[in-house]
Amino acid sequence: MTEPSIGVAVIGAGMAGRAHANGYRAAGTVYDTARPAARLVAIADTHEPFAADTARRYGYARAETSWQAVAEAGDVDAVSVVVANPLHREIVEGLLAAGKHVLCEKPLAPSVDDAQAMVDAAAAHPGQVAAVGFTFRRSPAINAIRQEVERTLGPVRHVVGNYWTDYGHDPGRPMSWRYLGGPGSGVLADIGSHMIDLAEFFCGPTTGVQGTTMSTVVTSRRKPLGVAVGHKGGVALSDERVPVENEDLCTFTTTYGGGAAGTFSLSRIAYGHANTLRLELFCERGTASFDLTRPGEFTVVDGAAPGIRRICVGPEHPYVAGGLPMDFPTVGHGQNDFFVFQARAFLDQIAGVGDLPPVPSLAHGLHNLRVLDAVVAATDKPVTL
């Protein structure tokens, strides 16, 4: 390595926290070796067994049970914050004050006011990278489609996005923080934040939101007596039921400055769809489509050949060459690889090296929250941003 190493830690040892932990572990294996290495220092979680298990699995030096221990650690330079959304502000502000570089999972905060405070805190520490994680921006296929739009397909006229999951389908699953927080903090914040960001990746900033419909189908859940990782059940439940405070379903439409329109459908109760993200881009001179269940490919209809062309992502597309052990068409990759590419970009950004697109700033996360708020408000009337 020609660059000094960067000590990293992850706060939160749940499902997404493990993805970040693995991302840093694998970051040194992608692209050229002149980039700074990640020293795997600590995993922190208030539930010590999770912290210890994740640290052991991914090769981190130690486990901690508080974010404050990470903030005070002299051997930690950069931290991923991957905990419940309401906890983001306190932790991010504390880490910035302690001199750490920070990568916070989306959505940035539980409210626009909290997000603005986080942006202000980052501005007070201009020498530190303060970023928000929107991992689908690292998809080779998504980036290849954007190249097609810019080179041949022309401006987007209509973007259609569906993100369907079923982690909330079973009413026997326990209550968790994901079901608390009021309208907009449910499926909209959880996975709709990704969809809003992806649409803007192609169409530019959202200028209006119309026709929002939100509904809650599973209206109460039983309190857990233990702790589960991610969306899993499997823990003992009490007899006490707690009201679900946010939405299971959300649909809405959007407009963009270039004249494009968007149509979106979100669900956490779509039985049989564990993690189905689909994106259709209807452009001036053709159509492009992406389906996360087949992440290593995309389709194009552009008149260059009859019918639909299925394109397998390969080394001629973004992120693939040097980004996979076998960087060859059809070998395949998945969503976990997006976290590796994100970790690599974050480390490079800290060191001021490399050529990967930077990780979006906290200000980008604040903008995303403003759009989420507009979606909620558009249940009553159209909203202009």
Tens-place pLDDT, residues 140-189: 999 999 999 999 999 999 999 999 999 999 999 999 999 999 999 999 99
Write out the residue limits of the CATH 3.30.360.10 domain(s) in the chain: 140-294+296-331
The structural architecture, per CATH, of the domain 6-136 is 3-Layer(aba) Sandwich (3.40)
The strands making up 297-301's β-sheet, listed across from edge to edge, are 309-312, 297-301, 286-291, 276-283, 156-164, 261-267, 249-256, 206-215, 383-384
Indicate whether 228 pLDDT > 80: no
Q: Give the residue-averaged pLDDT of 233-246.
A: 89
Residue 141 is predicted with a pLDDT of: 98
d(CA 138, CA 135): 6
Q: How confident is the model at residue 13 (pLDDT cuts 50, 70, 90)?
A: very high
| Cα atoms in the 13 Å half-sphere on the side-chain side of 5 | 13
Write out the residue limits of the CATH 3.40.50.720 domain(s) in the chain: 6-136
Q: How confident is the model at residue 198 (pLDDT cuts 50, 70, 90)?
A: very high
Q: Which residue has the tokens 């209550």?
A: 175
d(CA 83, CA 45): 9
What pLDDT, in 10s, does the model give residues 111-144?
Answer: 999 999 999 999 999 999 999 999 999 999 999 9
Q: Helix, strand or coil for residue 340? A: helix
Spatial CA neighbour of 108 closest among 219, 13, 174, 185: 185
Q: Give the residue-averaged pLDDT of 9-19.
A: 97
Residue 4 is predicted with a pLDDT of: 83
The structural architecture, per CATH, of the domain 140-294+296-331 is 2-Layer Sandwich (3.30)
